[in-house]
Chain A
Amino acid sequence: SVSGECTSGVHSSPFFCFSCRCEFPSAANIFHIRYFKTSAVHRDEVVTVKTPAFAESVSEGDVRWEKAVGDSVTEDEVVCEIETDKTSVQVPAPAAGVIEELLVPDGGKVEGGTPLFKLRKGAGAAKAAPSPAVEAPAAAPPSPPPPPPPPTPTPAAMPPVPPQAPKAQPVSAVKPTHAAPGPSAAGSRGESRVKMNRMRLRIAQRLKEAQNTCAMLTTFNEVDMSNIQEMRKFHKDAFLKKHNIKLGFMSAFVKAAAHALTDQPAVNAVIDDTTKEIIYRDYVDISVAVATPKGLVVPVIRNVETMNFTDIEKAINALGEKARKNELAVEDMDGGTFTISNGGVFGSLFGTPIINPPQSAILGMHGIFDRPMAINGKVEIRPMMYVALTYDHRLVDGREAVTFLRKIKSVVEDPRVLMLDL
């Protein structure tokens, strides 16, 4: 046996080179892929790629497919990996083309020389891998559909639980491209019909039921945000330093709502239609609508009546983090006695939120915009936010609703009200 380098570079056997008669010591492994033209019909188009020879007397390995039938590949792109004896060996495509057939199932065992797959050569023949087909609701694409734009059915309506669940459904109804097909040719007047998925139907049904059972009314007010903004400006650095999170103004509204809810228990209660009872709750669990890349989720802050601004800010922050990292558990989203929804993040000025059943009221926050206000007989520019309270009039009467909203306004405009329990 002759050891040392062989310069011919191509060997038909892993262990013996015919051209220079050198024999490879078993310690050196060289992997080759042999190409054979096997198809009689498409003699120059389809190649069968075989399993490379294994080294160190390993007899077989498991195939793990990276590509599927119909995928187009470039030269040297990895088509599959073969796992043998703790080694992962990549099998690249010998040329650009389209995968015609996989000859071994995923996880199947192969030996050196076993035919692996058929490749139809030619970059021109390559067709793009079919994107997840828009099929009947039952079909599941391999990857989740892209998140649709924030759902705002009409500018005035602000659903507290926008149908984020449809994103879970692999149905075209949710995909923006189908909901609003761009004109393929200028002035074309075609139509496309897309079936509504079950979740969307169910949500629609439930919303209508809620509207039919609750006597929904909305009362409005406006909040002067100057004091809260000043408080934030003044204390934000110290707050960040001590508590390691940013001081937002959501906590002010959540705290204000909790204060108002303990003050007006009817708003925190709910009617049980089956037993015709009113259920009063002595705890306040506030559902906060949070926008995530995958849509709106509504995690719940529990027992808000026991928390101060900082506790609330920490809770909101923690839930926001969890939502962002996709770590919200189903228990985090259970229940809730009252919902706060912030349309302001989308730039909303004014609007009527819709109650999130089975609750009796929802607070809608909107955008903060500078407006001229009459202050002590003079006109001053103040940062103002419109707030809306939609409530179930069967349970909450007008006076209670207005008082409730005014209480929120007074706490946010002057948080000292809380200190003095006014």
Chain B
Amino acid sequence: MMSNVRRMVSLFKGVCRTRTCPVHTWTSGAGLVLQSRSTDVFQNLALEDWIEANVDLRQRGVLLLWRNRPAVVIGRHQNPWTECDLQAATKAGIHVARRRSGGGTVFHDLGNLNLTFFTSKKNYDRRRNLKMITDALRRVRPELDVQATDRLDIVLNGHLKISGTASRLRRDSSYHHCTLLHSADRSALSAVLRPSTSGIHSNATPSVPSPVANLVDHAPTLQWEELLEALVDQYNEEFGCTSALTSIDPSDEASFPGIGLFVSELSSWEWTFGKTPKFSVRTVLDLSEHRSAQLHLEVKNGLVASCQVLVPPDWIPQSLADQLSQVLVGERFCRHGAAAAAVSTLLRLDGTGGRLEELSKAVLRAMG
């Protein structure tokens, strides 16, 4: 155990193993290239936090390469209910995670490579990072027409997006991460990247959809390992050092002390859903016999802050509908769990099988 820690510490103290790096290409010191062995989105996001918190980036930068089992990753200030169909995701075993950096929603899977460039604030240069990537691609497949755009995407043949970027700036450090579509499963995308429920009015950061493509569609012989190697070589060349690709295991608490806390935070409901900017839901609920009710919910911090259900006066008494509204206030905006339990208690009290039950279930269905 201790030897692990010492090894990690020495890695990050960054003894540049081979040659001294010329000062003008980097402020000083070496770059370090790491590859995560984990495919768990929360562990990898936690690893980013850990590196940012524990590694002195003033002397050297770090490049982290990682990929995840299928997951939907939303930006820091986005609304998971508008970006993703949460029921479909849960059913498919797809995790939903909120990252720390801004930007839009991405679908991760094992065919989608993530690169994170950790640097000091001074050396933060996203265009340079993207140039490194396009240079690497051109080197390994010269026939590929890849370009970085003004919006910091990388496009193939002028219009097909193969990479999107996001970043995070703190007081002393920064990171820029981006995706690179090698061989992602795009069919799984469409089933999940759509709103959970209709009628959401939100000022959260929206996602900008674009046509995407996989590298293998245009360079079928490009293997994953070949791509990684090309990127590592180009990184070393661009930033002036020789760093071998070091494989790390973010689940090893001994090598990454404190990473468990980052993982718990990132996988918590409070972070993923509770951090959603305030939004409202206004929708019409279809009831039997061609009747309908109006639902208006305000959601703050992922919890129902206020709820109003307006029913036709001859259908059930408005007071009964108000009881339903009351029961939902303070609960998570989610059709399962505490809201369902509260509704079920109400139904047990006031009779099941009736219109109140129908209304309650319609309201719950409208909740994420």
Which A residues fall within an 8 A CB radius of B?
Answer: 5, 27-31, 56, 62, 64, 76, 81, 83-90, 92, 106-107, 137-138, 140-145, 161, 163-165, 167-170, 198-199, 202-203, 205-206, 294-295, 297-298, 322, 326-335, 356-358
Contact = CB atoms under 8 A, between A and B. Distances in A.
B168 interface: yes
A328 B330 contact: no
Given A28-B123, A83-B76, A88-B169, A334 B344 contact: yes
Contacts of A327: 336-337
A92 B338 contact: no
A198 B326 CA distance: 8
B332 interface: yes
Interface stretch (B155-163, B212-220, B297-305): B297-305
Interface stretch (B63-71, B229-237, B345-353): B345-353
A332 B348 CA distance: 13
B77 A64 contact: yes
B329 A30 contact: no
Contact of A90 (B169, B327, B345): B169
B77 A144 contact: no
B296 interface: no
Contacts of B339: 168
A294 B338 contact: yes
Contacts of A198: 323, 326
B331 interface: yes
A202 B170 contact: no
A140 B166 contact: no
B242 interface: no
Contacts of A164: 341-342, 345
B327 A168 contact: yes
A94 to B, nearest CB: 11
Given A199-B327, A357-B348, A88 B76 contact: yes
Which of B169, B335, B336, B345 counts the most A-chain CB atoms under 10 A from its CB?
B345
Contacts of B123: 28
Contacts of B167: 86-88
B327 A330 contact: no
A161 B169 contact: no
Interface in B283-308: 300-301, 303-306
Given A81-B76, A141-B330, A329 B121 contact: no
Given A29-B121, A90-B169, A294-B341, A140 B277 contact: no
Nearest to A86: B103
Given A64-B76, A357-B348, 8 more contacts: A81-B77, A88-B100, A140-B304, A140-B330, A168-B329, A199-B327, A206-B348, A328-B341
B330 A87 contact: no
Which of A140, A329, A333 counts the most B-chain CB atoms under 10 A from its CB?
A140
Contact of B341 (A81, A86, A165): A165
Interface string B120-149: 011111111000000000000000000000
22 contacts: A28-B125, A29-B121, A29-B169, A64-B277, A83-B76, A85-B152, A87-B166, A88-B100, A88-B166, A90-B169, A142-B301, A144-B303, A165-B346, A167-B338, A168-B329, A199-B345, A294-B338, A326-B334, A330-B335, A330-B343, A331-B361, A335-B352
Chain B interface bracket (under 10, 10 to 19, 20 to 34, 35 or more): 35 or more
A141 B171 CA distance: 32
Given A28-B125, A199-B346, A294-B338, A88 B352 contact: no
Contacts of A145: 330
A144 B301 CA distance: 11
A38 to B, nearest CB: 23
B267 to A, nearest CB: 12
Contact of A329 (B336, B342, B352): B336
B203 interface: yes
B194 interface: no
Contacts of A334: 344, 347, 352
A202 B334 contact: no
Nearest to B357: A334
Contacts of B345: 161, 163-165, 199, 203
Nearest to A27: B125
Given A88-B169, A165-B346, A329 B331 contact: no
B340 A330 contact: yes
A357 B277 CA distance: 41
Contacts of A85: 102, 151-152
Given A88-B100, A198-B323, A357-B348, A168 B205 contact: no
B322 to A, nearest CB: 9
B104 interface: yes
A168 B339 CA distance: 8
B343 A84 contact: no
A295 B126 CA distance: 50
Contact of B122 (A30, A107, A330): A30
A7 B266 CA distance: 37
Contact of A165 (B77, B125, B327): B327
B121 A83 contact: no
Contacts of A140: 303-306, 329-330
A83 B205 contact: yes
A199 B327 CA distance: 7
Nearest to B300: A142
A350 B339 CA distance: 32
Nearest to B331: A168
B278 interface: yes
Contacts of B344: 297-298, 330, 333-334
Nearest to B208: A86
